[in-house]
Amino acid sequence: MIQKPELLMPAGNFEKMKYAYAFGADATYLGIPMFSLRARENGFKRETVIEAIRYAHNLGKKVYLTANILPHNHKVAPFIKYIGQLLEEAQPDAWIMSDPGIIMMMREHFPDQEIHLSVQANTVNYATAKFWEKAGIRRIILSRELTIREIKQIRDYCPDLELEAFVHGAICIAYSGRCLISNYMSYRDPNQGTCSHSCRWQYKMYKKEENQPANWREEAQTAGIEPAVTQQGDSYVPIRGDYYLEEVDRPGEYMQLDEDENGTYLMNARDLCAIEYLDELREAGVDSFKVEGRNKSVYYAALIARAYRRAIDDLAAGRPFNPENITDVFAAANKGYIAGFLKGNPGRSAQKYDGTRAEQPAYRFAGIVRDYDAARGWMKVEPRNPLRPGMELEMLTRDTTRTLKVEALYNIDGAPIDIIHGGLHYCYIPVSSPPEPFTILREKTAEDFAPEHVELSRGCVENANEPCGCNG
């Protein structure tokens, strides 16, 4: 077991990888073209994969290559050939794989290569973990549907295996890889790396009625909502909406199907955030804390790396959890956080029925500092949202948060301007001292933000009023 758990961040492209390391990642994972999930959002070509491995190793960091699609026959030989060609030029620290046949061939052709079993393989018990250990797997990336107690049991049975657990990011409404919604909705197969995230789309529902008047919506609205009731203990609670599902063995449990002004979101899972549970996960024997989000922004890579870096360092030093770390996780776009299955089945709290968009984050990504003009004392900024003179920004690095009043704004030619919008243009902002490399800018957008928000989104075992029958 690794003494200090590793922080493993996603790298959707080379830039995100650099920021993840600069803000505290010990390792990153990135996809090899064509043979990894997130194939469509992958910013790496063969040459950049090689360059990225060299970059990481020069920093003394690790890099794992994801090669976790389930290849059909015609992809098997090119898959193995591609790996062989890549290994002639660079040596990753491990390969993340899921297909048993490809893993077997990998062991035969390249026995020295370390293999981590992808979450796509859905390891949910110690027997499966043992099986893969005997097959030469060094590390298991645990299924996201495990409780901390179950992880501990797997550790007890498999003391020599490395265990990796997701601690942050989007989650599927199915076991990873066991989902065909995207195939059905857009002919894009999640297991070939082309998921269209159809589970998070906005769905509209219509009811066809005989002789339905053209203005039936207005009429329904005027008539008001017909109340339906369900039983909770001794009291009857009205529930809103027009259409409900009722499962025959659960009388009185009406599942709302109607749409509001946002539409209908039946399958839209909230995001995982386990930053408050790292101590328990380490205690359970987890060696690597993994963050999801290869297609998220540089800002996400930086902020989430910083929050978990600080939390892990505090943990290793025996310091108590600092609630300020939660500021950073809420400063990145999210769909509302839950603790996943770590404390038990999250039940209804796992779903976000009222929209697919992110919760309004407490901060907004303002820009990236790209350069510094020492002669004028101006930093060159790539804006990601509108910037104006007079606004207050925060300058973030891994270890510091500096406030900055934007006294003036200049365009790339040095002329004063009143506003610049996010995009490809650059601008200059005067600063009193040189910015550190990899500085990110953000703007606070919610004055009343309070870190304890995450407390409200814990799993069902924390909410005695909403038992779900889980085994957590």
Which residues form the interface with ligand SF4 (CB under 6 A)? Answer: 172-174, 179, 181-182, 190, 195, 197-199
66/182 with CB nearer ligand SF4? 182
Rank residues 124 and 174 by Cβ distance to ligand SF4 and give the closer one. Answer: 174
- Nearest distance from C-beta of residue 29 to ligand SF4, angstroms: 17
- Rounded to a whole number of angstroms, the minimum distance from the CB of residue 11 to ligand SF4 is 19
Cβ closest to ligand SF4, residue 355 vs residue 386 = 355
Query: In the complex with ligand SF4, which residue's Cβ is closer, 158 or 172?
Result: 172
Output the smallest distance, CB 200 to ligand SF4, in A: 6
Q: Which residues contact 187 (CB under 8 A, 6 or more apart)?
A: none
Burial of 87 (0-12, 13-18, 19+ CB in 10 A): middle
Token pair for 71: 């290849």
Query: How many other C-beta atoms lie within 10 A of the C-beta of residue 372?
Result: 19
CA distances from 311 to 278, 318, 396 (A): 8, 11, 17
Task: Specify whether the CB–CB gap between 63 and 27 falls below 8 A.
Answer: yes
Q: How far is the CB of 72 from ligand SF4 (least distance, A)?
A: 18
Q: Which is nearer to ligand SF4, 195 or 461 (CB)?
A: 195
Strands (E), 264-373: 271-273, 288-291, 337-338, 363-373
Residue 248 CB, nearest approach to ligand SF4 (Å): 26
Q: Which residues, at least 6 apart from 2, have a Cβ–Cβ distance to it below 8 Å?
A: 162, 287, 288
| Nearest-approach distance from CB 97 to ligand SF4, in angstroms | 18
By C-beta, is 195 or 305 nearer to ligand SF4? 195
Q: Which is nearer to ligand SF4, 130 or 197 (CB)?
A: 197
CB of residue 294 vs ligand SF4: minimum separation in angstroms? 13
Helix (H/G/I), strand (E/B), else coil: 152: helix
CA dist 418 and 401 (Å) reads 25
Structural Rg of the chain based on CA atoms: 24
Q: What span, in angstroms and rounded, lies between the C-alpha atoms of 190 and 118? A: 14
Query: How many DSSP H helices and E strands does the chain contain?
Result: 11, 21
How buried is residue 84: exposed, middle or buried, by Cβ count under 10 Å (0-12/13-18/19+)? exposed
| Nearest to ligand SF4 of 190, 344 (CB atom) | 190
Report d(CA 296, CA 35) in Å as an integer. 20
Give 294 or 306: the residue with its C-beta nearer to ligand SF4: 294
- Helix crossing, 73-87 with 100-109: angle to 10°? 40
Nearer to ligand SF4, 119 or 461 (CB): 119
Contacts of 443 (CB under 8 A, 6+ apart): 363, 364, 366, 385, 391, 392, 393, 394
Query: What is the smallest separation between the CB atom of 120 and ligand SF4, expressed in angstroms?
Result: 10
Torsion angle, alpha carbons of 335, 339, 345, 350, to 10: -10
Q: How far apart are alpha carbons 117 and 289 in whole angstroms? A: 15
Alpha-helical (H) ranges within 166-229 are: 181-186, 216-223
| Minimum CB–partner distance for residue 453 and ligand SF4 (Å) | 24
Of 350, 356, 40, the residue nearest 201 (C-alpha):
356
Complex with ligand SF4: residue 181 or 274, whichever CB lies closer: 181
Nearer to ligand SF4, 147 or 194 (CB): 194
Q: How far is the CB of 376 from ligand SF4 (least distance, A)?
A: 47
Closest approach of Cβ 145 to ligand SF4, in Å? Answer: 12
Residue 406 DSSP label: -
Smallest distance, ligand SF4 to C-beta of residue 358, A: 15
